[in-house]
Chain A
């Protein structure tokens, strides 16, 4: 018998409420990628030429985790701003605007679903 896995991507809308820590507003995750970065080092991307922004870490209990952001998500938009063709620094800046308390992200997530288990009769 053989098992099949189905890989597909879903788009999620995630709303993160920033947490105030001292003078800073933090979101509770880390990003990697950007058009000025090396896409082949990205462990989360399907296509190794993809220079988009990916979530590389999610702090436990942080606002991002609470909102449902998962590690490996690709961030497509932040508050309507496109994030697929930005440099790393530009992405950081768009996420950490001082006057914004809430950021709404559009992310793409890869999922694997176990398909129906089939048994091949020989």
Chain B
């Protein structure tokens, strides 16, 4: 305890407010138990490059991902062309879903990587795994480019531009309808008093409502880029387009050509268009938002690596939208994927390795011999009495005990560390040199718990997920919000249990690596029995659909007066 206090005092001696020495050096200067290695910092970096090296798995349609709200009509047509020309692959279709902010590597690599000769045109279709290996520096450069610069993808901009153009057209058309007669044949128009003014006001407000509603519904930041056209949006764009075009047709023929004098009729015509647009907006709300709210299916998502599973209720969604929904929930429901926890301890596995060796006497034959050999080995191994389950059991028990011991030490260390700090009250008189802000307070008490923390994280194999910096930040956060030792519960809960993936650093999210694998086209709606897989490099999420059962509720009326009771009789009578 004296040593930990000495560490605290040493920290306080450091001139605060000027330039704080980096924590590592400060700790290195202090002897004793305050030393802690950077918790897996270097390992963290190397893991990132491992992930990046294999990140080049594409399928046929994947580069089309990416889209903001608006029109898919154009892309719909292109898709249809494309799918007609490529109809061998009716089987497994895999498409990539990405988070926004990153177009696919192939588009960027045309600019960035000189070694890739094959990535000439942007219409390249790549199937299977790419053979190129891109070095770490290239990757960091490319990702920086992608994250900093704006989207330069042509097709995305085209889609957005088309949508905006259509919206503007629809918005300005009623105004044009009303203004054109005034501009062109003003003198011939009949005067139109109060009814027209009322109609003008209603048009103005309806257009305002349409504007706000359209903004709320369509112009939002995309949360994911879908591999395929969003069918309902495309449908709506087509509908709006047809509506506006037909209105213009009639307007051109009946009003412009014949120079209709009845201005009130013209204004009413414009108002009817605005009403029709409002109804289309209502349709959009129902199709895009409301239909999926009422639960119709239960999706079971199972992680292939360790079997963690969850159930979700969704409404009518297409497969791609259901996939994004599952991913959104995955990041806050599933405990983080920790591959280190999955393997059997080595001592157990090594025993299994020593099996039977089969020697073949005589000449080598063809494959018949080898299959016979392997079958013999398997049969012999099955018959032999295998005690590895015993080893596994004792190893597990030992591990449990070790974890509990380390955890107890950690809890005590943290509890004690927190007693060294107190929030500054108004009545305390302290000179400014002794007053610390949360960051400094965190650094001050971190040293005393660092060793216990590191040992605990190492035993539970969590050390790649928590760098020293992240622990300090969390400590600072806890100190800021509550000062009593009760906070050690909140401080420690992050480390004692494996939390959901979203709790950890962004590098752990790997949100841009998901691939949707489905036997049916991904714009199909969900049906009972549909199975699709969301693949990532290290594991996959298998999602299966079940229809929510149809409940037949029958009614039974119970008269409140019908609740009557009697005693249970056991009489005994003597005769």
Contact = CB atoms under 8 A, between A and B. Distances in A.
Interface of A: 26-27, 29-32, 34, 36-38, 41-42, 56-57, 59, 88, 92, 95-96
- Report the contact-size class of chain B (Cβ under 8 Å from the partner): under 10
9 contacts: A26-B574, A26-B575, A30-B572, A32-B570, A34-B569, A41-B568, A59-B574, A88-B573, A92-B573
Contacts of B568: 38, 41
Say what secondary structure dominates the interface of chain B.
loop
B571 interface: yes
B575 A38 contact: no
A30 B570 contact: no
A26 B570 CA distance: 22
A66 to B, nearest CB: 15
Interface of B: 568-575
Contacts of A42: 570
Given A27-B575, A32-B573, A42-B570, 5 more contacts: A30-B572, A30-B574, A31-B574, A31-B575, A92-B575
A38 B572 contact: no
A31 B572 CA distance: 6
Contacts of A95: 575
A17 B78 CA distance: 110
A57 B574 contact: yes
B575 A56 contact: no
B571 A32 contact: yes
Contacts of B574: 26, 29-31, 57, 59
Contacts of A38: 568-570
Contacts of B572: 30-32, 56-57
Nearest to B569: A37
Contacts of B573: 30-32, 88, 92
B112 to A, nearest CB: 84
A57 B575 CA distance: 10
Nearest to B570: A41
A94 to B, nearest CB: 10
A68 B568 CA distance: 31
- B572, B573, B575 — most chain A CB neighbours (10 Å): B575
A33 to B, nearest CB: 9
B570 A37 contact: yes
Nearest to A42: B570
A57 B572 CA distance: 9
Q: Which A-B residue pairs are the 7 nearest by beta carbons?
A: A30-B574, A41-B570, A38-B568, A95-B575, A37-B569, A32-B572, A27-B575
A110 B568 CA distance: 26
A36 B575 contact: no
A42 B574 CA distance: 16
A32 B573 CA distance: 7
B571 to A, nearest CB: 5
A62 B571 CA distance: 21
Nearest to A103: B575
Nearest to B568: A38
Contacts of B570: 32, 37-38, 41-42
A88 B569 contact: yes
Contacts of B569: 34, 36-38, 88
Contacts of A36: 569
Nearest to A56: B572
Contacts of A88: 569, 571, 573
A37 B571 contact: yes
Contacts of A30: 572-575
Nearest to A18: B575
A103 to B, nearest CB: 9
Nearest to B574: A30
Nearest to B572: A32
Contacts of A27: 575
A27 B575 CA distance: 6
Contacts of A59: 574
A26 B574 CA distance: 9
A57 B570 CA distance: 14
A38 B569 CA distance: 6
A29 B575 contact: yes
B567 to A, nearest CB: 9
A8 B573 CA distance: 27
A95 B575 CA distance: 7
B350 to A, nearest CB: 44
A107 B569 CA distance: 23
Nearest to B573: A92
B59 to A, nearest CB: 69
B575 to A, nearest CB: 5
A28 to B, nearest CB: 8
A92 B575 CA distance: 7
A29 B574 CA distance: 6
A86 B571 CA distance: 14
A92 to B, nearest CB: 5
B197 to A, nearest CB: 87
A92 B570 CA distance: 14
B126 to A, nearest CB: 75
A115 B570 CA distance: 35
B280 to A, nearest CB: 70
Contacts of A26: 574-575
